[in-house]
Structure 1
């Protein structure tokens, strides 16, 4: 087991910086919201106790821990550009490492499973990164990618949410995040040579359930000052959006998490 730090880069100073006081709570609420869909997708794979797993962008660690419980004779390498919230002592087969997968590399054929949630949408060369991940997979190994597809803020029935959610999406796009990449995941996996490609989708948004409203409330607290400072929204608009979240509104779906998976062919390397 080991835990290595990596220097902060420009991304870690943005809306999702680990230095923000609410970021751990946001990550934990995200886990509560999306872990069931992730576990369901991973549960469809023919996982063995000796699999070697790579968990990319491990966040607060919940899926890395889940995987470690299922590969007692294997290994889980949990990487994140800032792994401060992951417990490296959780399991003997778990290793935690600070890593930027856009610059770091892994030996060819060294993993039976690679999983990443809400990671590739942040990367500048997504197709190239899928191709690199395929090289890291052993023949017959599985690549599971999950990302968020954001629906247009202008389609919300709530004016207060149109304004603030729209400002948030603008800030994410300015940070380099592709808001519609997730929809392309199955086709991208197939283009990279994956077999048995499949997909499931988990809806999210305002009023969907209590946990998601808590997540959105934390997001407003966390992003609000920066959005106001950037001139994308006013403090009054932020307050109106917060009241809307707290009111328990009728559901307004604004995101779909695409969970896509495929298997590297068991034949010769491509």
Structure 2
């Protein structure tokens, strides 16, 4: 394993990311030290982890596999790999690993690192997984190619990000206005961009992977569903930035929040697009 920082024993303190217009993810929005941020991340995990687990199992991840989980968040995927999938080793990387440290040990190692840094090179792996990471980073093609370079021959790269299927067109409901304002606010403040994610399969081809595939999962926006709670919390944390876009006012945002909280939204949540490919 090369580069700095490196893990020390079974545990390494610290965190994944890059820079954006107003600071990267976790700097100007979604700061990990703010109360409830770990719980917000876990709501997204409740909505999407079963999809990720099914895909990794379909790719044959299991005993003997050495895994890298990039942008590991609260570690739900990394812990599943280590404790249930029975992999040989999983290295969980994030720019801030405070949510990971309590679970490290055994097959689960943690590493605080910025994957955009020139010296990021934690080793070679049978699986490299990153979910909701590239959408927040500039030069995503370069970063995807770097992650592909961390694969052993025959290894799998699995990348997942948000895909927005509804907000580009009418009707201009409060929910759609809120989602549009959120995406604009995230793009302006931390550089988030999901406009390119439908092109994930071509990106996988472009970085030299074979057996490329992709799938989309859209969780239902039911009352008290994990994904509805996730978006409500996300809107709360980005409220000022959303209103600053001028794309909706406080009354429209309140209407969107009420509709989402009560299950009255007749629309689609942003989904998860997962793409994968195999290294020669």
TM-score (norm 2): 0.85
Query: In the alignment, what sits opposite 1:3?
Result: 12
Rounded to whole Å, the distance in 2 between the matches of 1:113 and 1:119 is 16
Query: In the alignment, what sits opposite 2:99?
Result: 85
Query: In the alignment, what sits opposite 2:75?
Result: 61
Aligned-partner SS, 2:233: helix
Rounded to whole Å, the distance in 2 between the matches of 1:224 and 1:56 is 28
Aligned-partner SS, 1:16: coil
Q: CA RMSD in A?
A: 2.4
Select which of 230, 237, 259 maps to 1:222. 237
Q: How does 1:46-195 map to 2 (within 5 A)?
A: 46-70=60-84, 72=86, 74-103=88-117, 104-106=119-121, 110-155=124-169, 157=171, 159-174=173-188, 175-195=190-210
Rounded to whole Å, the distance in 2 between the matches of 1:232 and 1:250 is 19
Bigger shift: 27-36 or 251-260?
A: 251-260
Aligned-partner SS, 2:193: coil
CA contact (8 A) 1:41 1:200 kept: no
Task: From the superposition, tell whether residues 187 and 7 of structure 1 become closer, same or farther in structure 2 (CA, over 3 Å).
Answer: closer
Task: From the superposition, tell whether residues 149 and 206 of structure 1 become closer, same or farther in structure 2 (CA, over 3 Å).
Answer: same
Bigger shift: 76-85 or 197-206?
A: 197-206
Rounded to whole Å, the distance in 2 between the matches of 1:264 and 1:111 is 11
CA contact (8 A) 2:16 2:93 kept: no
Task: From the superposition, tell whether residues 198 and 209 of structure 1 become closer, same or farther in structure 2 (CA, over 3 Å).
Answer: farther
Task: From the superposition, tell whether residues 246 and 53 of structure 1 become closer, same or farther in structure 2 (CA, over 3 Å).
Answer: same
Question: Within the alignment, does 1:236 sit opposite 2:251 as a pair?
Answer: yes
Deviation string 1:107-143 (CA, Å, 9 cap, x unpaired) is 56x1110000011111211111121112211111110
Aligned-partner SS, 1:13: coil
Bigger shift: 249-258 or 118-127?
A: 249-258
Bigger shift: 20-29 or 148-157?
A: 148-157
Identify, as 1 or 2, the structure richer in strand: 1
CA contact (8 A) 1:148 1:258 kept: yes
TM-score (norm 1): 0.88
CA contact (8 A) 1:199 1:260 kept: yes
Rounded to whole Å, the distance in 1 between the matches of 2:223 and 2:58 is 25
Deviation string 1:41-77 (CA, Å, 9 cap, x unpaired) is 1111122412111000001110000111256461111
Select which of 218, 222, 242 maps to 1:203. 218
Q: Specify every segment of 5 or more residues in structure 2 that has no aligned partner in the other structure, as ranges.
A: 1-9
Task: From the superposition, tell whether residues 154 and 263 of structure 1 become closer, same or farther in structure 2 (CA, over 3 Å).
Answer: closer
Identify, as 1 or 2, the structure richer in helix: 1
Select which of 23, 26, 43 maps to 2:57. 43
CA contact (8 A) 1:153 1:254 kept: no
